[in-house]
Structure 1
């Protein structure tokens, strides 16, 4: 089913009183926490080490509601979205987003990312993530411009009004820089954590070359673009202007992204957070190619493009704001035009330290963070229930729990981390799970009751806090 069809505005059970952000620490739910996790016999995959982590968290965190949320959210990807198999003797893992039977390159990487901390202990979990890498490799080789795929390679996509070059097995063909960066991030960290090189075969090497070609083509240095996309739709953010090619850019070294990680179209095609992500991913790919393949020419190309994009970001992505000083724009076009905002999905400007793209103490990032977490960001909302970043994808006044989680994950402030946890705890609308969005004044008005990325990311945030600052969970 299509993402936009999954709008659910009622909670599954329970009710939630409205509480101002200044008093968000008070729990507003009853002290009864019903069993909402999938029964053991119906779970898609179970890891003893993940279950042990849940038990450890419950034993040592005295806040019953947080323990309940961690139990529900952290294993949600494993419980409900993964399908593991062997194909030609190699692990294969298909990962749906939750309520949509399709595998996004971005979402699938992010959904299993928090389990990387356990793969050196759990062989089955290691095989599961290796299977994600193998599956992503085949998808990239099928079409590096597509963002989401079906498990059935012959299935015809359900988008019948898309004007682009669709292939069987492709669910959606929205080209996004981050969809090609996330598989590199997952592969690199899998290799660094496990030392296993099995997924990085000739096909994987071809996928890296395909990614490099897309990124170079999308610099539009010769004034042409092999990719176009239009959709017959009432949603302007689901299509591209100018016959599907988007507004012109001046070739300055940055990489175009037709769509954002929200799957919304860009206004100016040089999407700054995604270009930062590409800088990191290209260097990671180069390191792997050097160590595993020994192809010096390819690794040199990867590093050269990374360096070029990095310099272009310094030259074209920084804007002087009258209130905040130098900040990073969200999108630019190389002509001097820019868009100042931030979006809830990752990569975002807020998330750059989480993606190892920038240091938390970088002064331009700190200025940018102050801007994006203020009402000067047109997609930052402050209401009776919470405050946080939203975006165009669902609409105004809808806060994304993912953005609140990311605010906490990128914060150095104990008070801010505690506040983010409290807001997330107070806005799940009695369901025991995170959602795509909720209304700033009414968490019972939410979208997507089953969104595994948001759940697992919240679990990652709680586990990180438990390991590093357990006192913040009391």
Structure 2
């Protein structure tokens, strides 16, 4: 069975049933017609509990005047901890293996994004610090196994790849669940490491193994600039879905070596049309700058820091030359993908890094004029994956096809907005499209939210929780109106 078919089937299941019926998919409505029962697993069935997160949950919920929004937040914010975190030890050190939800594997991207909203609480909770230490250790080990892989197995020695990846024509290694080369797979662990270091001041996870993994990141980025041939990575999959299969023998469409880093797949796990992903290259610039800062401050490794900054500068200069494209009468925008020959694609995808998420990821100022024009154009019919229906407006992507809006795109729109009216509209759309489940899904039909995929998708839940925490701190009037 292909991954797309498996996920569509998973969308018909509830997170509770996937965990052995720990909690119901839907709850009886109260007198007001709103659900009242928490959709969290019972305390004894939760995989991880943080006292700091529970306090934050209680504080924030108490300030919210909309009972349905508070109910959604109460279900979504702790969902990653409740259902996806598996703690242990590996090689004598803390180990955190974090699954995506209904897929029993750890994506480097998702695992970092899933726990991002809890970072402000690490100083007040030793259990959270252990979780982050374990995840940073685990991600470093994954990169050491294969810097080109996007998803990994709990057992680093296992060869039991995900069912849809078993026959992929690529160099599969023990511990790898799927091997799709995506630039952001190496950026998210740096973002998490830098965020944890800044939030905690803790340097324990950044040992020799982590440093070796970061050297592999830099080396992989340089190889994938493809100045001297394709490099070692190729990937082909026997599939009727073109988005699963990069062309030309698995090396992707041709691109001129202009200094940008090549990527075979997007953050959605769909194959790139043009191998030079603009959002992913922006993310790489920021990640390399963060890595340079950490290397100097923690290890006094000025040579490696200089190498990171040199590549960041090279990629940044290439972005300025090749990424701008004509948008509309208001001015230039950023392209989504280019090939260095002058061909450019404008679209946006719901997964981050996307053009819409650049300000969220810290790659540009949210007030930057070109970013604002790009974001506006992405939320218009200039983007072939922008959908507007009876239920909501939002961005999707090839991964789940036309008409399918990803709640993450709506959440990201709110997180990057300075408009109370725009944020309030996003909250209304999110409230209206969870199909009574109390959770964010992967995607839903633009006209019928009851048609959705992936009822247990922890990244979408975490991002929604982050939005509410952000609003409580910066725009509390939107939660008390």
TM over 0.5: yes
Matched, 1:198 2:204: yes
> Shift in Å at residue 322 of structure 1?
3.6
1:47 maps to 50
Aligned counterparts of 1:2 and 1:65: Cα–Cα separation in 2: 36
Aligned counterparts of 1:101 and 1:441: Cα–Cα separation in 2: 31
> Shift in Å at residue 397 of structure 1?
0.3
Aligned counterparts of 1:160 and 1:83: Cα–Cα separation in 2: 24
> Shift in Å at residue 299 of structure 1?
1.0
2:300 maps to 294
Aligned counterparts of 1:65 and 1:265: Cα–Cα separation in 2: 38
1:281 is aligned, of 287, 296, 300, to 287
Equivalent residues of 1:2, 1:100 under 8 A apart: no
Equivalent residues of 2:27, 2:35 under 8 A apart: no
Equivalent residues of 1:15, 1:430 under 8 A apart: no
2:387 is aligned, of 361, 374, 381, to 381
Matched, 1:143 2:146: yes
2:245 maps to 239
> Shift in Å at residue 14 of structure 1?
7.0
2:321 is aligned, of 297, 315, 321, to 315
1:340-359 matches, cutoff 5 A? 340-359=346-365
Aligned counterparts of 2:88 and 2:288: Cα–Cα separation in 1: 30
Q: Which of structures 1 and 2 has the larger relative contact order (alpha carbons within 8 angstroms, sep 6+)?
A: 1
Aligned counterparts of 1:295 and 1:330: Cα–Cα separation in 2: 34
1:75-474 matches, cutoff 5 A? 75-156=78-159, 157=161, 158=163, 159-473=165-479, 474=481
Aligned counterparts of 2:452 and 2:26: Cα–Cα separation in 1: 13
**Aligned alpha-carbon RMSD (Å):** 1.7
2:26 is aligned, of 4, 10, 13, to 13
Deviates more, 1:49-58 or 1:130-139: 49-58
* TM-score with structure 1 setting the length: 0.95
Structure 2 residue runs of 5 or longer lacking an equivalent are: 15-24
1:32 maps to 35
Equivalent residues of 1:91, 1:128 under 8 A apart: yes
Structure 1 residue runs of 5 or longer lacking an equivalent are: 17-28
Equivalent residues of 2:327, 2:377 under 8 A apart: no
Aligned counterparts of 1:42 and 1:202: Cα–Cα separation in 2: 36
> Shift in Å at residue 290 of structure 1?
1.1
**Do the aligned partners of residues 116 and 3 (structure 1) sit closer, same or farther apart at CA in structure 2, a change above 3 Å counting?**
farther
Deviates more, 1:87-96 or 1:352-361: 87-96
* TM-score with structure 2 setting the length: 0.94
